[in-house]
Amino acid sequence: MNKMKNFKRRFSLSVPRTETIEENEFTEQINQLNMRHTQGLTPDTLGPPSLDASPVSPEATTPGARSPSSLRYHSQAPLRRFSMEDVSKHMSLPMDIRLPPEFLKKLQQDSDNSSFCKPVSRMSRRASLGTYATVFKGRSKLTENLVALKEIRLEHEEGAPCTAIREVSLLKNLKHANIVTLHDIIHTDRCLTLVFEYLDSDLKHYLDNCGNLMSMHNVKIFMFQLLRGLSYCHKRKILHRDLKPQNLLINDKGELKLADFGLARAKSVPTKTYSNEVVTLWYRPPDVLLGSTEYSTPIDMWGVGCILYEMATGRPMFPGATVKEELHLIFRLMGTPTEETWPGVSSNEEFRSYLFPQYRPQALINHVPRLDTEGIDLLTALLLYDTRSRTPAEAALKHPYFLSLGDNIHNLADTASVFSLREVQLQKDPGHRSSVFQPLGRGKNRRQSIF
């Protein structure tokens, strides 16, 4: 009981109250887990059915079916598979009650001699995850395909960080051509390694390699893929909450995929409010900048508009250094909000405290001259102050801006690439320098960011 009380205390300190599951439900899950542990849980009995402590309910699966993405480990005995769902639902618990010590020791030994994949080169430490996440470029010993290994160091007292829990819990249920694939997870007592598909670049590197001058046809194709992946998430009530060029991965075929779901949130989880400390400052919508904690899918759509502007111009739209400067840049271009453009803004205390000048909205065509009329209309619809009027991802996909891509692009299966259509092909970017798809980490000991 003391162990359970200590864990509940640590859990409440490490995760914001508005982001946790209800205490009664969580206590019941802990009691059930302790009961299973005291009954002599072993690796052979560990597996479904498992306790669900993840922020999103797993989709129904066929009884007895094996998960396509599961943790593999090897020993002298035949190959056994450890359900990824089971790991993701237990990894938030303290090490001393999560898995039997003898099993963790065995898993650590097997991981050291794993035949699943081997590291090729070290990539970069992800800033927003602090000092416990490192990304490696690896190669599968089974398929010889490249993979990205996101290694997250586990603290004995705290267990896995909440960002990793969310990323695994959400990605294991998202299967889409424009969302990065989580192949597997490797769990030991020291670290948690997420095995992702490997993509050569991201949108930020793509823009850099193009000299920040992209073909407008390519802008349209990338924009459609971004909206396609985001629409898939929003239909499942999942908010990404950290859209930016660095989190949009691109492979050598030109396929764009949403990545880094560490800040993502399942809207279906009952809670009154969310954190407003989300979304990188340059892509954060004004309602969240002013302290809103009651938001939904429109939080992502503002970032989509900023990314469209950045692809079309080669520069960030609102590169503020502080919240006040960010708001000032937004209002100077889009106009200072009024009750007509943003109902209720005059009653916002933070907005009133800043005392912004009364700017008039500027014509976007003067700032994004390379966008056609339909493109300007879409950009405007994405950057509306009133979240109720901001166009959703599903509606944006059907905007006239994308008519030139043809009708068949709307009939693709979720897992089908847009490039499976003959009429959808990337053009040579006018400003590209050598290889547009410069792989991340090329060159000896060169470290680049992938997540």
- Which residue is catalytic, options 242, 260, 287, 429? 242
- Residue 333 CA to residue 364 CA, distance in Å, equals 8
Please indicate whether residue 407 is annotated as part of the active site: no
Q: Which residue in this structure is represented by tokens 């005392």?
A: 355
- Known catalytic residues are 242
